[in-house]
Amino acid sequence: MHKVAAALAALVTAVVAGLVAIPLVIGGDSPPTAAASVCATGDSDAILATIRDRESGGDYHEASHARAAGYPTGSGNPTGAYQFLYATWAGYGGYREAYLAPAAVQDARARHDVITILATFGTVDWVPIVWYIGAGGARDVRAGKIGLDDVPNPAYNTISIGGYQARWLDAYQRITSSGDPTTTTTADAANVTTLPTAPGVATTTTIDATSTCAAAAIVDGDALPLPRTILDANPERLAAPHHDYPAIDLPASVGTPVYAIHAGVVTHITSYHDNCYTDTATCGDLCGVGISITDPDGTTWIYCHASQLDLTVGAAITAGQQIMLSGNSGHSSGPHLHVGIRVGGVDHCPQPLLTALYKTGRAVPANELPASGCTYTAATSS
């Protein structure tokens, strides 16, 4: 199954940028979704195995079929087990083409993309659509601008979007029901030992595969900001006071996905990657790498100390959408996520909202949150 569209470029940044909240509607030949099983343990392994199965037959060395199929050489060529385009892969660093990267590197990159797709589109049946025609194309499908019967890039493809999705989901069901997502163990091992390592390769991001569950846990229009598996380790933390003004700090290791609690539009981005305690005597930005999302009521939702953030001002964000990876940038004494909620310019306490979301599955409107009582010391302006 090597009918790969050349529209996979800029996959992740395209996935998270400019999303609008359009009801999830798939018509025609869409098979029933497997959404309910997205949270099952190991599902992201099964998803990765399905992509490998469909795209390259599990061949991490795959570099030839795109050329044989007549793709122009250069940025449009897909290679590797997941058929990343040159142009997409180039942004990841370290290897000229995906097929030159060890299997573990290709796997880590693909897993990150899959989690992002699930956080953005919600259900597993969107993974093949995004993989086939890119995130922008998937949004056009959702908006009804492109039909599932359309064949993208017909010079190189013969299968429709819906046809690809149906075959992909068939393979996914087969792999899931067989209970063995590892279809290419021997080839994987051979790749790791025989492929050259390139200097300067980016360290692989650690992503909790079970985080797709938290991304889907949207209640009352709000979502928890971290994977539930991380919050489970210390739920009391959701009620812990902040140091000296209403907000909350939640421990999270570097690379943990962070989800928007509430929908809105990106109104501010900070991009200070250093740590103010260890890297520099002068702190460039207390928030480090961070983002402000303003909702239609004018409430601003603030997230700080990220390690990676690819959004831009003006992007529309849905609740539960992955917005960044947590980190230790800015005024941060250890890896954690800072969350602030500013109603009418006044800091309010996130603790009652987060505790309610976690324990009862019910949200609390931001304007009903207290503006004091959640700090270790008397509130001061920040």
**Residues of this chain that bind Zn ion (CB under 5 A):** 249, 338
* DSSP E strands, the chain: 78-79, 84-85, 218-219, 222-223, 248-251, 257-259, 264-271, 289-294, 300-304, 306-308, 316-317, 322-326, 336-343, 346-348
Residue nearest to Zn ion (CB): 338
Nearer residue to Zn ion within complex by CB, 101 or 226: 226
- Minimal CA–CA distance to 223: which of 348, 345, 339? 339
Nearer residue to Zn ion within complex by CB, 18 or 352: 352
CB neighbour class for 296 (10 Å; exposed up to 12, middle 13-18, buried from 19): exposed
- Strand 336-343 to 248-251 pairing: antiparallel
Helical packing angle, 161-178 and 43-55, nearest 10°: 130
Nearer residue to Zn ion within complex by CB, 222 or 249: 249
172 Cα distance to chain centroid: 20
Nearer residue to Zn ion within complex by CB, 12 or 230: 230
Least Å distance, CB 49 to Zn ion, is: 40
Least Å distance, CB 338 to Zn ion, is: 4
Nearer residue to Zn ion within complex by CB, 229 or 375: 375
Least Å distance, CB 313 to Zn ion, is: 22
- Minimal CA–CA distance to 318: which of 257, 259, 231? 259
Least Å distance, CB 242 to Zn ion, is: 6
Nearer residue to Zn ion within complex by CB, 114 or 252: 252
Contact between 172 and 3 under an 8 Å Cβ cutoff? The reply is no
Least Å distance, CB 317 to Zn ion, is: 21
HSE-CB of 379 using CA atoms within 13 angstroms = 14
Query: Distance (Å, rounded) from C-alpha 85 to C-alpha 98?
Result: 8
Nearer residue to Zn ion within complex by CB, 262 or 338: 338
Least Å distance, CB 367 to Zn ion, is: 22
Least Å distance, CB 339 to Zn ion, is: 8
Query: Distance (Å, rounded) from C-alpha 274 to C-alpha 271?
Result: 9
CA distances from 185 to 172, 181, 251 (A): 17, 10, 35
